């Protein structure tokens, strides 16, 4: 059986890893399409190499553009690939423009359209990712839901056929990565920075809501810079450019470490070693939770309400008072539940493919 996987951004490389490994182990023919939505080598190729994912079969190199332009170029090329390869199933991941383009292309063709991470909702339709995930879910044949909440969200929208509760593939990946890092003699990025495990804040900011609005970005960075612990901020090239345009890099202190993007293993080292994570990334929220690192989310909403409800994640937006308060909370937390499964999501995904 031939399966075509479509990826294009950092989180999708991570989600692909356990699925790809499980497919290969069960004799499936894997075809991988990389749209090139993240085209910086550090954001793409490094992840493929670190996770030992087989070579990409199609590299579309679409790069940036408006949502419509980028999605349209992807759609046309993916449609041609699906027709040429004739897979039995196409797997799309998450909520990016790559996800939506592949979903639309496949929905009008014979292969089954299967969606990993179905049913997640922020309920904020101003977010492009929310529109992408909703539209993809409503045209998919098989919907792999990572949590019970995701299954409920789909049912509330009238989607019950083809829904499979699998757990979250990012939990599969991060369990592997944490064990790999623990057994490695290489300290990675932790050995390159003047920081101590448990005594720094990891920060990531990339969403247009926080970066396009210069005053909002300034508030976030200023409060982070005021924190008594060192801050490590791996910056996407677009965000780094924005910080420079606003002159914010010149205002940051010596303990604010604005660094280049890091690979997956180094990011896990930082997540696992941080005293707190401050982020607007949905993936980093989950990964922090999975590694039992308290999270401060620089958004007004989240796809992962489970992490907020159990006390391991706080929503603060760009409010300096709320950010400051959340960063200064004590480290005592209630017992952490396991809403994301048991680290065997990829096995359930492949089993569901076999059942169809």
Q: Does residue 356 have a pLDDT over 70?
A: no
- State the Cα torsion 329-320-204-293 to the nearest 10°: 10
Q: Same domain, yes or no, for 349 and 204?
A: no
In a domain, 332, yes or no: no
Confirm whether 321 is a catalytic residue. no
In a domain, 234, yes or no: yes
Q: What are phi and psi of 16, to 5 degrees?
A: -65, -40
Q: Same domain, yes or no, for 162 and 181?
A: no
Q: Same domain, yes or no, for 209 and 157?
A: no
Cα-based distances in Å from 226 to 219, 284, 324: 11, 22, 9
SS (HEC) of 188-250? HHHHCCCCCCCCCEEEECCCHHHHCCHHHHHHHHHHHHHCCCCEEEECCHHHHHHHHHCCCHH
Q: Does residue 331 have a pLDDT over 80?
A: no
Q: Does residue 12 have a pLDDT over 80?
A: yes
Confidence of residue 333 (pLDDT cuts 50, 70, 90): confident
Q: Under 8 Å CB-to-CB from 62, ≥6 apart: which residues?
A: 8, 35, 36, 37, 39, 70, 73, 74, 77
Q: Under 8 Å CB-to-CB from 46, ≥6 apart: which residues?
A: 263, 264
pTM score, whole prediction: 0.91
Q: Same domain, yes or no, for 321 and 348?
A: no
Q: What is the mean pLDDT of the chain?
A: 93
Distance, in Å, from the CA atom of 349 to the CA atom of 351, rounded to the nearest integer, reads 5
* Nearest CA-CA partner of 189 in 286, 271, 256: 271
Choosing from 206, 227, 236, 257, the catalytic residue is 206
Q: Same domain, yes or no, for 154 and 221?
A: no
In a domain, 336, yes or no: no
In a domain, 253, yes or no: yes
Q: Same domain, yes or no, for 156 and 237?
A: no
* pLDDT for residue 38: 66
Q: Does residue 311 have a pLDDT over 80?
A: yes
In a domain, 140, yes or no: yes
Number of domains making up the chain: 2
In a domain, 334, yes or no: no
Cα-based distances in Å from 220 to 266, 280, 303, 331: 24, 11, 21, 22
Confidence of residue 225 (pLDDT cuts 50, 70, 90): very high
Q: Same domain, yes or no, for 229 and 287?
A: yes
- State the Cα torsion 267-283-9-238 to the nearest 10°: -70
Q: Same domain, yes or no, for 154 and 24?
A: yes
* pLDDT for residue 40: 59
Q: Same domain, yes or no, for 34 and 80?
A: yes
- Using one digit for the tens of pLDDT, what is the confidence trace for 228-270? 999 999 998 889 999 999 999 999 999 999 999 998 999 999 9
Confidence of residue 278 (pLDDT cuts 50, 70, 90): very high
In a domain, 155, yes or no: yes
Q: Same domain, yes or no, for 154 and 10?
A: yes
Distance, in Å, from the CA atom of 125 to the CA atom of 74, rounded to the nearest integer, reads 22
Confidence of residue 145 (pLDDT cuts 50, 70, 90): very high
- Using one digit for the tens of pLDDT, what is the confidence trace for 25-82? 999 999 999 998 765 555 566 777 788 887 899 999 887 677 788 898 999 999 999 9
State the residue range of the domain holding 125.
2-168+341-355
Cα-based distances in Å from 318 to 218, 219, 301: 9, 7, 12
- Using one digit for the tens of pLDDT, what is the confidence trace for 168-198? 999 999 999 999 999 998 999 999 999 999 9
CATH number for position 317: 3.40.50.2000
User: Which position has the token pair 């048991």?
Assistant: 342
Confidence of residue 332 (pLDDT cuts 50, 70, 90): confident
Q: Same domain, yes or no, for 136 and 192?
A: no
Q: Same domain, yes or no, for 148 and 184?
A: no
In a domain, 163, yes or no: yes
> Which of 60-74, 104-118, 199-213 shows the lowest per-residue confidence on average (mean pLDDT)?
60-74
């Amino acid at each position: 059986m031939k399966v075509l996987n479509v990826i294009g951004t950092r989180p999708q490389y991570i989600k692909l890893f356990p699925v790809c490994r499980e497919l290969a182990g069960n004799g499936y023919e894997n075809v991988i399409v990389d749209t090139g939505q993240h085209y910086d080598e550090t954001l793409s190729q490094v992840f493929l190499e670190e996770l030992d994912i087989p070579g990409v079969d199609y590299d579309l190199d679409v790069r940036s553009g408006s949502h419509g332009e980028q999605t349209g170029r992807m759609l046309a090329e993916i449609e041609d690939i699906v027709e040429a390869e004739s897979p039995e199933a196409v797997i799309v991941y998450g909520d990016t423009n790559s996800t939506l383009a592949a979903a639309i292309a496949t929905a009008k063709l014979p292969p089954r359209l299967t969606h990993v991470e179905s049913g997640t909702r922020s309920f904020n339709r101003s977010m492009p990712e929310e529109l992408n995930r909703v539209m993809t879910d409503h045209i998919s044949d098989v919907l792999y839901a990572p949590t019970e909440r995701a299954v409920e969200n789909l049912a509330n929208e009238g989607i019950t056929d083809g829904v499979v509760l699998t757990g979250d593939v990012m939990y599969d990946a991060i369990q592997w990565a944490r064990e790999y890092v623990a057994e490695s003699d290489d300290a990675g990025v932790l050995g390159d920075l003047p920081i101590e495990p448990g005594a720094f804040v990891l920060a990531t900011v990339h969403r247009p809501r926080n970066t396009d609005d210069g005053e909002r970005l300034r508030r976030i960075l200023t409060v982070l810079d005021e924190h008594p612990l060192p801050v490590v901020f791996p910056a996407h090239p677009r965000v780094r450019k924005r910080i420079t345009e606003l002159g914010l890099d010149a205002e940051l202190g010596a303990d604010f470490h604005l660094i280049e993007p890091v690979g997956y293993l180094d990011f896990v080292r930082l997540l696992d070693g941080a005293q707190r994570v401050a982020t607007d990334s949905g993936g980093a929220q989950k990964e922090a939770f999975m590694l039992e690192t308290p999270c401060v989310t620089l958004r007004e909403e989240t796809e992962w309400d489970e992490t907020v409800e159990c006390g391991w994640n706080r929503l603060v937006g760009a409010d300096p008072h709320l950010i400051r308060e959340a960063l200064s909370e004590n480290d005592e937390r209630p017992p952490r539940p396991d809403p994301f499964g048991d680290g065997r999501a990829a096995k359930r995904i492949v089993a569901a493919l076999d059942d169809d």
